[in-house]
Amino acid sequence: MRGAKIMSQASSPKAMSQSKPNPFENALEQLRIAAEYLKLEDGIHKMLASPKRQLTVSVPARMDDGSVNVFTGYRVQYSDVRGPCKGGIRYHPNVSLDEVKALAAWMTWKCSIADIPFGGAKGGVICNPKSMSQGELERMTRRYTAGIADFIGPYRDVPAPDVYTNAQVMAWIVDTYSSLKGYMIPEVVTGKPVPLGGSLGRDKATGRGAVFCTVEAAKVKGMDLKKSTFAVEGYGNAGSNYAELLQAHGAKLVAASDSKGGVTSKAGIDAVKLNAYKEKTGSVVGMPGTQRIDDNQLLQSEVDILCPAALENAITPDIAKGVKAEVIVECANGPTTPAADKVLDANKVFLVPDVLANSGGVIVSYLEWVQNLDRISWPEAEVNSRLEAKITGAFKEVHQTSQKRGTSMRTAALIVGVGRVADAIRTLGIFP
């Protein structure tokens, strides 16, 4: 490293917009509401409000021009009382410790709601992956993996892809971790390429699971999907797969957006063609036959179903007041603030919360982990069938809890998820 130019991303763009609520405070407020319904003991409530372990690592990586950039990475293990920690790794300029803590908390409840034997975790690196080459991303990923290697493992903490990470990033993590341990350990992560033990169906699992939830929500609301319109905020992996799969049920996509802007068309947008257009141009903006709109306009579109599939805090109280959708299905993590929830509840919007709606990814990650541990592989049809059974079962349990308790679907989901984790803590006790 002699003579190398040293740069740092420790002081990246502001980690939290001053106009947006702190995501971990949102998570704690949701926990507080669930705790009131569950009448949680004060000690258990305090334990559930505190991540078990928080790790911050410096991640030096050589850039293509020979300079060395020092990135900041995080890994938060929120709870492991129901099994190994589980959660994705995201690469984004606005990653912060509080964001990662919130995401780890939501993963804890999500795994519990789906009733799979995992706790919750999350990781992230402050970086702008869109401005980095493949080589730079690989070198950064490998160094980040080395930094957290003593804290992850198949029976301890199992990472997965998240925002701006993918199967290739998981492959680099597998190779780095396995090299450090001295033998091949593909089950250290999920969401891997299929040749490395990745599960068939994992790439579309989050979107597919959200569609299964949408089908169930349509039944509850008496909606005919073949006559329904929908909009997707965040046309990435989850959002685009959701659009293609829901379109196959007969629903019509009329608006979509990504980080560069949004498009709309009352006549409808072919989701498959839109995905191909984005792959070619890098954005949905400019899709022939569409008009440009911004995110706020999309979120308040005249649609039957709204799918926020981007980042947290998209739906604020001001946005919520103008939401016209009858059903919201949250593909993103934490897209709706607690204050906005109150507005949507008052307006009788049926919201399928993130901890249920986007759990398809972690459900199939669990199935991938099981296949890896047993060194077996299931056909895609079996994986999809197991996913459908698991997520629709969770939806029905949450909806029944909502009806019984007279609460929103989000509160009902948290009652189920937080309740199971609390039961595990009571049963285990506190050592020593």
CA distance 419 to 423: 6
Marked catalytic residue, from 86, 101, 110, 122 = 122
Phi, psi of 70 (to 5 degrees): -105, 110
* Amino acid 306: pLDDT: 98
Q: Please count the other Cβ atoms lying within 10 Å of the Cβ belonging to residue 42.
A: 8
Local confidence band at 11 (pLDDT 50, 70, 90 cut-offs): very low
Domains, the chain, ordered by start: 51-193 (3.40.50.10860), 199-432 (3.40.50.720)
Among 284, 286, 288, 306, smallest CA distance to 297 is for 306
Residue 17: pLDDT band (50, 70, 90) is: very low
pLDDT-derived band at 19, boundaries 50, 70, 90: low
* pLDDT per position as a tens digit, 30-57: 999 999 999 999 999 999 999 999 999 9
Q: Count Cβ atoms below 10 Å from residue 302 Cβ, excluding itself.
A: 12
**Is 122 labeled as catalytic in the residue annotation?**
yes
Note the pLDDT tens digit of each residue in 110-123: 999 999 999 999 99
Phi, then psi, of 237 in degrees rounded to 5: -60, -55
Under the banding of pLDDT at 50, 70 and 90, the label for residue 9 is very low
pLDDT tens digits for range 124-146: 999 999 999 999 999 999 999 99
